Amino acid sequence: MERVALLTEVKKKKRDENLIKAKMQRTFSLRRQEVLQEPKIPEFFNKWPALLDVTEIKWEFMRLTTVPLTSKFLGELDRLTNDLIGVFNTKGGVAGKKIGAMMAKMENDMECSESEADVAGTTMAIYTVQAEGDDHDGPGGLLADVGVVLEGVEVLHNLQSINHACVMLYGLIYALNLSYPRSLKNIFEAYQKILMDLESSKLSPKVRTLKLKLLR
């Protein structure tokens, strides 16, 4: 009954955000039981559309970890940016060349991987849509939209920036109990255990090496 009432409130044009927050809190344990059964993303969001909202993603993360999502993530990223750049600059070989090229392109703007808006079949991604008439590729270009895709479904759009989309994707991974993408496992572990300081006593060798370099 609480879930149905929540669903009704979410669909209203002038919805009561405080009421939604309270009902999401009361239905948290029920929602977690469903999440652990690994439902399909579209089916889950049909039942719990409140989690398609940036504010509720942050509250859900807080319920799970007691850690504030956005301020902690972006604050630690800002604090460690210069140290991360220093670590990247010492990297040699093929990896060093790739990192150097990426850093030159980003022009000191930290970002996650981006893709075009054609996302059908994509398991997990951040997409960007370049503003019409803007010929500047990359982070310096004007963006008409930034969003998040899960299981081929656009679950968030009109986000503030690629950085913000990265934070929201991380929050959704926790909210939905998703596994880290294999190709980005080390990156997401670094987010979790270095930036967010969650389960930081258990580090993979690569993330442990990065953390030790940052502490020097």
Over residues 184-200, the pLDDT tens digits come to 888 899 999 999 999 98
Q: What is the model's pLDDT at position 214? A: 87
Q: What is the model's pLDDT at position 145? A: 87
- Looking at the structure, tell me whether residues 43 and 115 fall in a common domain: no
- The whole domain housing 123 covers 69-215
CA angle 145, 72, 6 (to 5 degrees): 65
Lowest mean pLDDT among 86-90, 135-139, 150-154, 183-187: 135-139
172's tokens: 């959704």
- Looking at the structure, tell me whether residues 116 and 160 fall in a common domain: yes
Query: Where residue 106 falls among pLDDT bands split at 50, 70, 90?
Result: very low
* Section 84-111 average pLDDT: 63
Which helix (H) or strand (E) is 47 found in, with range?
helix 41-47
CB half-sphere exposure, 101, CA atoms < 13 A: 6
Q: Is a pLDDT exceeding 90 seen at residue 121?
A: no
181's tokens: 């993408």
- Looking at the structure, tell me whether residues 109 and 173 fall in a common domain: yes
The phi and psi torsions of 118 (rounded to 5 degrees) equal -80, 95
- Looking at the structure, tell me whether residues 16 and 75 fall in a common domain: no
Residue 116, in any domain of the structure: yes
Residue 60, in any domain of the structure: no
Lowest mean pLDDT among 1-5, 129-133, 164-168: 129-133
Higher pLDDT, 199 or 116: 199
Higher pLDDT, 93 or 76: 76
**Rounded CA separation 187/192 (Å):** 9
* Total number of domains in the chain: 2
207's tokens: 């993330």
Q: What is the model's pLDDT at position 113? A: 47
**Rounded CA separation 118/125 (Å):** 11
Residue 63, in any domain of the structure: no
Residue 165, in any domain of the structure: yes
Residue 84, in any domain of the structure: yes
Higher pLDDT, 5 or 100: 5
Q: Is a pLDDT exceeding 90 seen at residue 125?
A: no
216's tokens: 């020097």
* Section 145-160 average pLDDT: 89
- Looking at the structure, tell me whether residues 74 and 119 fall in a common domain: yes
Global pTM value: 0.82
* Section 107-129 average pLDDT: 61
- Looking at the structure, tell me whether residues 182 and 106 fall in a common domain: yes
Per the CB < 8 A criterion, the answer to whether 141 and 131 are in contact is: yes
- Looking at the structure, tell me whether residues 32 and 130 fall in a common domain: no
Per the CB < 8 A criterion, the answer to whether 56 and 48 are in contact is: no
User: Cα torsion for 196, 175, 166, 124, to the nearest 10°?
Assistant: 130
* Section 98-123 average pLDDT: 54
